[in-house]
């Protein structure tokens, strides 16, 4: 029988194990390192340590337990030709949209200034600006980005979206491909990054990008920490090119206590909490893909490792 091994270098996946067993009591579920786990044909992963996937000679499927697959691709021992799938979850999508809306509204309504004034007991009313005059750009129009962009448009913001290919979303002006990245960026008041991490998007958020935004713009990064060139961000904040940044993802997590980002004025740090799929939702998709694998049917939410998503 097909068994599932749960692999993570950073998280305890015992709760997910219980959720899978509750749905499919007949399905063997192992934690990485358990003696019988080497029999597993499916690996469900979050940030597997290098060499982890190569320990399973019978592997027929690698299932990311997140929306992205970049953390899986870092393990060079992944057997070639084994399909990789990801999680698509409506609650995860809704959670990400809530986070993006909060970050945009926080800065659009100048709550960052309000909180700074409160710390000094200063009663100063910030000006209110129409949402239609606020240019918000969403980098990445996959399931998460498209939902967030549409929600922002429904609130009256002037919304642009950028992706590898043109997307048709009501109320969102679509840009696509490398040739349209600069016109997408020009004059944005807020830039939201929800891109997958690929070799093409690594380090994309740099000084050249910040220079094209409106003076005093705000960056919100919910993609991956590797998208951001941190020294360029610090320089842009110090010069006033950027007014602020909301960062939920980092190249090293947890973010070290001595990292200068903690103490940088204008930066809001959250601990990779923007959104996540529930164990129940992940378990349902893992079990369904096990069923499809056994039946020889197309897999659910199969990704393209060559493209990176």
Q: 176-217 pLDDT, tens per residue? A: 999 999 999 999 999 999 999 999 999 999 999 999 999 999
| Residues 278, 263 contacting (CB under 8 angstroms) | no
pLDDT for 1 equals: 64
Question: Whole-number mean pLDDT of the chain?
Answer: 96
Catalytic residue (choose from 224, 241, 243, 284):
224
Catalytic-labelled residue, pool 173, 202, 272, 291: 272
Structure tokens at 150: 């549409």
Q: What is the mean pLDDT of residues 38-65?
A: 96
pLDDT tens column, 275-292: 999 999 999 999 999 999
pLDDT (mean) for 17-37: 96
User: Measured between alpha carbons, how far is 117 from 108 in angstroms, rounded to an integer?
Assistant: 16
Which value, to the nearest 10 degrees, does the dihedral of the CA atoms of residues 97, 99, 100, 102 take? 120
Q: Is the Cβ–Cβ distance between 63 and 252 less than 8 Å?
A: no
Mean pLDDT throughout 134-162? 98
Q: Hey, do 4-89+277-295 and 90-269 end up sharing a CATH topology, with the first three levels equal?
A: yes
Residue 249 has pLDDT above 90, yes or no: yes
DSSP 218: E
DSSP-derived secondary structure letter, 48: P
State residue 286's pLDDT score: 98
Domain 90-269 has CATH 3.20.20.140: no
Per the annotation, the verdict on 107 as an active-site residue is no
- At residue 2, the pLDDT reads 83
Within 8 A by CB and 6+ apart from 258, the residues are: none
Token pair belonging to 275: 């959104």
User: Model confidence over 61-100: pLDDT tens digits?
Assistant: 999 999 999 999 999 999 999 999 999 999 999 999 999 9
Asked about 227 being catalytic, the answer comes back as no
Instruction: Find residue 218's DSSP bridge partners.
Output: 190, 244
Pick the CATH number of 4-89+277-295 from 3.40.50.720, 3.90.1150.10, 3.90.1170.20, 1.10.10.60: 3.40.50.720
Share of the chain above pLDDT 70, in %: 100
Structure tokens at 44: 């469900």
Who contacts 121 (Cβ-Cβ below 8 Å, separation ≥6)? Answer: none
User: What pTM did the predictor assign?
Assistant: 0.93
Cα–Cα dist 24/72, whole Å? 25
- Domains of the chain, residue spans: 4-89+277-295, 90-269
| Structural contact between residues 141 and 193, judged by C-beta atoms closer than 8 angstroms | no
């Amino acid at each position: 029988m097909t068994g599932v091994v749960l692999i993570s270098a950073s998280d305890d996946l015992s709760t997910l194990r219980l959720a899978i067993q509750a749905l499919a009591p007949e399905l063997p579920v192992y934690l990485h390192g358990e003696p019988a786990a080497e029999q597993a044909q499916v690996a469900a992963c979050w940030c597997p340590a290098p060499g982890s996937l190569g320990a399973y000679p019978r592997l027929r499927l690698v299932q990311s337990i997140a929306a992205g697959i970049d953390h899986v691709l870092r393990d060079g021992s992944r057997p070639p030709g084994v399909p990789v799938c990801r999680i698509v979850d409506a609650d995860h999508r809704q959670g990400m949209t809530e986070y993006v809306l909060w970050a945009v509204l926080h800065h659009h309504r100048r709550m960052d200034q309000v909180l700074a004034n409160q710390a000094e007991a200063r009663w100063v009313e910030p000006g209110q600006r129409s949402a239609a005059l606020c240019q918000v750009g969403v980098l990445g129009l996959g399931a998460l980005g498209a939902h967030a962009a549409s929600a922002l448009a429904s609130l009256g913001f002037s919304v642009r979206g950028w992706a590898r290919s043109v997307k048709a979303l009501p109320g969102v002006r679509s840009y696509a491909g490398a040739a349209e990245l600069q016109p997408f960026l020009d004059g944005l008041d807020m830039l939201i990054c929800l891109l997958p991490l690929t070799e093409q998007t690594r380090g994309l958020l740099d000084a050249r990008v910040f220079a094209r935004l409106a003076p005093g713009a705000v960056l919100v990064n919910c993609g991956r920490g590797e998208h951001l060139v941190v020294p360029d961000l610090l320089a842009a904040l110090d010069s006033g090119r950027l007014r602020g940044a909301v960062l939920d993802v980092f190249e090293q997590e947890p973010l070290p206590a001595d990292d200068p980002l903690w103490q940088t004025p204008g930066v809001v740090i959250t601990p990779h909490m923007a959104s996540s799929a529930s164990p129940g939702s992940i378990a349902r998709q893992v079990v369904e893909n096990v069923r499809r694998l056994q039946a020889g049917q197309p897999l659910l939410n199969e990704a393209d490792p060559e493209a990176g998503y």
